[in-house]
Amino acid sequence: MSQSPHSLRQMIRAKQHKGATAGLAPSFVQVNVVVIPEQYAYHFLQLCQANPKPCPLIAVSDVGGYTFPEIARDADIRTDIPAYQIYEKGQLCETRHDVVDIWQDDFVTFLLGCSFSFEQALLDNGITLRHHDQGKNVSMYETNLPLKSAGVFGGNMVVSMRPMRAHDAIKAIQITTAMPRVHGAPIHLGSPELIGISHIEQPDYGDAVTINHDELPVFWACGVTAMVAVKAAKLPLAITHSPGCMLITDLYNHQLFY
Amino acid sequence: MSQSPHSLRQMIRAKQHKGATAGLAPSFVQVNVVVIPEQYAYHFLQLCQANPKPCPLIAVSDVGGYTFPEIARDADIRTDIPAYQIYEKGQLCETRHDVVDIWQDDFVTFLLGCSFSFEQALLDNGITLRHHDQGKNVSMYETNLPLKSAGVFGGNMVVSMRPMRAHDAIKAIQITTAMPRVHGAPIHLGSPELIGISHIEQPDYGDAVTINHDELPVFWACGVTAMVAVKAAKLPLAITHSPGCMLITDLYNHQLFY
């Protein structure tokens, strides 16, 4: 029996779960977390607005706020994520399990949709996922597709790739079109070279998976894009979730349709 | 200035237009026409019900009826199509410009959706069509995808193919998903061999078009499927429109969305 998002957040807060959240409370939306000083918040908001496929904004906090009562009851952003990464001037300097003692009154928190939600919708429609079947992380790649830049934020899009037969690829496009708040429809399928990926067998993030001869690689915009943009902006201080260690919300995945 | 469907039907009835209808009244739905004896009508209806992508039924007449007042005001199926094909026992024995003198009281008429409608929707969304640009008919192919058979009707699906870059292919899937009454979403894209097409440069119907190296062939179920199934059933008598010479209705293409 799967636990509720609320009880999982309580466990995480108590440091009883410090790792990846994939597969936990699978009916519920998990989100990417970006925390940056107010000074850069407007530009980051612009980045999300201009690039909704890689950076689908689910919620943004008030300045200094660390709660999202409407989508995660009693949650505290400072403690309810299993692992955080602390960046100083674009350099990862620390991974930790809470950020209470380094919290600043000028922090703004952004929650961005994550592919876990649409993956669940694909599974619920009978589409299997190779990285699940092979017990791996999804393959992710840097592309040559430029973001629309906003202030200090810019760079290229990062994509995730799932191999599928054409019939399933078409169905996956139909399903994810209806979920724009979690990356929406794929941005490419077929030849990886056309979006600047030279070595499909060597992902830049995550793991390589088998692509069968009767399958097409299908590419979705990926939330890692935002992490890379934040890192490249070399802010004095920025906090993100650690890859795969997401905030679990109270929103059902099906609430993200349309 | 384009003419109204009604005035075009009057012109066709007067034999002032005896050819293809592509591009005439482009905002309006054109349909495939199948006329068969009542004895086979139930099986044909079953074929359409079981295979809605190749055989999307827009309307069916009463026995002996040749009018469709709700979708084509004052139209007469016996005279308002530019060219008809007459089949006896599956053999094309005559092409003519009206069927008044061979009409039978036991005829039932089926109107099936046609790709012209979704092609207009693609054009309206900025997707160019290679066969238009090259002044050709769309490429069509027999596949190894079996229909769900119904009584005397069966066989394999015929598909039409339009080459597109991945970005446009994804958009085309999104647009045509919303138009199930005119073939809906593609049934395949990418490798033609996977659906039994060995020579993409040699279509079974229509013309070959250029496929660029950065494009995928995208395949839709095609109304020719129904014509081939009717022919293969070797009915004593069957009438269809001549390829490309459709019935022009009063329905707007946008009325077919969803």
Q: Region A183-203: what's the mean pLDDT?
A: 97
pLDDT interval class at A1 (50, 70, 90): low
Percentage of the residues of chain B whose pLDDT score is greater than 70? 99
Q: Region B139-164: what's the mean pLDDT?
A: 97
Cα(B209)–Cα(B222) distance, integer angstroms: 17
Nearest to B31 by CA among B58, B11, B12: B58
Whether the Cβ atoms of residue A127 and residue A118 lie closer than 8 Å to each other: no
pLDDT interval class at A258 (50, 70, 90): low
DSSP assignment of B14-73 equals: TTS--S--TTSSTTEEEEEEEEEEGGGHHHHHHHHHH-TTTS-EEEEPPTT---BTTTBT
CA distances from B37 to A109, B140, B232 (A): 69, 28, 15
ipTM of the complex: 0.85
Q: Mean pLDDT, chain B, as a whole number?
A: 96
Whether the Cβ atoms of residue B158 and residue B172 lie closer than 8 Å to each other: no
Q: Which chain A residues contact residue B166 at CB under 8 A? A: 188-191, 194
Nearest to B229 by CA among B50, B31, B104, B24: B50
Work out the number of other CB atoms within 10 angstroms of the CB of residue B194.
Answer: 18
Cβ of A194 within 8 Å of Cβ of B166? The answer is yes
Q: What is the pLDDT of residue A2?
A: 75
Task: Indicate the burial class of B175 (C-beta count within 10 angstroms; 0-12, 13-18, 19 or more).
Answer: middle
Q: What is the pLDDT of residue A80?
A: 98
Cβ of B185 within 8 Å of Cβ of A170? The answer is yes
| Structure-block tokens of residue A154 | 């810019």
Give the tens place of pLDDT for each residue, A166-178.
999 999 999 999 9
Does the structure show a pLDDT above 60 at B1? Answer: no
Give the tens place of pLDDT for each residue, B5-35.
999 999 999 999 999 998 899 999 999 999 9
Q: Which chain B residues contact residue A190 at CB under 8 A? A: 166, 190, 216
**Closest partner residue to A216 among B173, B190, B214, by Cβ?**
B190
pLDDT interval class at B212 (50, 70, 90): very high
Cα(B57)–Cα(B111) distance, integer angstroms: 6
φ/ψ of A74, rounded to 5, equals 65, 5
Q: What is the pLDDT of residue B151?
A: 96
Q: Region B174-188: what's the mean pLDDT?
A: 95
B12 sits in which H/E element? helix B5-13
Q: Residue type at B47? A: L
Check CB contact of A178 with chain B, cutoff 8 Å.
no
Give the tens place of pLDDT for each residue, A95-141.
999 999 999 999 999 999 999 999 999 999 999 999 999 999 999 99
Sequence-ordered strand ranges (E) for chain B:
28-37, 57-60, 84-88, 91-96, 107-113, 139-146, 156-164, 188-189, 216-221, 238-241, 247-252
Q: Region B40-44: what's the mean pLDDT?
A: 97
Check CB contact of A144 with chain B, cutoff 8 Å.
no
Cβ of B167 within 8 Å of Cβ of A188? The answer is yes
Check CB contact of B101 with chain A, cutoff 8 Å.
no
Whether the Cβ atoms of residue B37 and residue B107 lie closer than 8 Å to each other: yes
Q: How would you classify the pairing of strands B156-164 and B139-146?
A: antiparallel
Q: Which chain A residues contact residue B174 at CB under 8 A? A: 173-174, 177, 185
Best mutation target, B173, B183, B187, to test chain A (most A CBs within 10 A): B173
Q: Mean pLDDT, chain A, as a whole number?
A: 96
Give the tens place of pLDDT for each residue, A149-159.
999 999 999 99
CA of A213 vs chain B CAs: smallest distance (Å): 10
Does the structure show a pLDDT above 90 at B140? Answer: yes
Q: Region B97-126: what's the mean pLDDT?
A: 96
Q: Which chain B residues contact residue A170 at CB under 8 A? A: 173, 185-189
Check CB contact of B27 with chain A, cutoff 8 Å.
no
Cβ of A191 within 8 Å of Cβ of B170? The answer is no
pLDDT interval class at B2 (50, 70, 90): confident
Cβ of B187 within 8 Å of Cβ of A177? The answer is no
Give the tens place of pLDDT for each residue, B156-176.
999 999 999 999 999 999 999
Whether the Cβ atoms of residue B243 and residue B19 lie closer than 8 Å to each other: no
Q: Region A60-72: what's the mean pLDDT?
A: 95
Q: Which chain B residues contact residue A164 at CB under 8 A? A: none
Q: Which chain A residues contact residue B190 at CB under 8 A? A: 166, 190, 216
Cβ of A166 within 8 Å of Cβ of B214? The answer is no
Cβ of A169 within 8 Å of Cβ of B187? The answer is no
* Nearest residue in chain A measured CA to CA from B177: A174
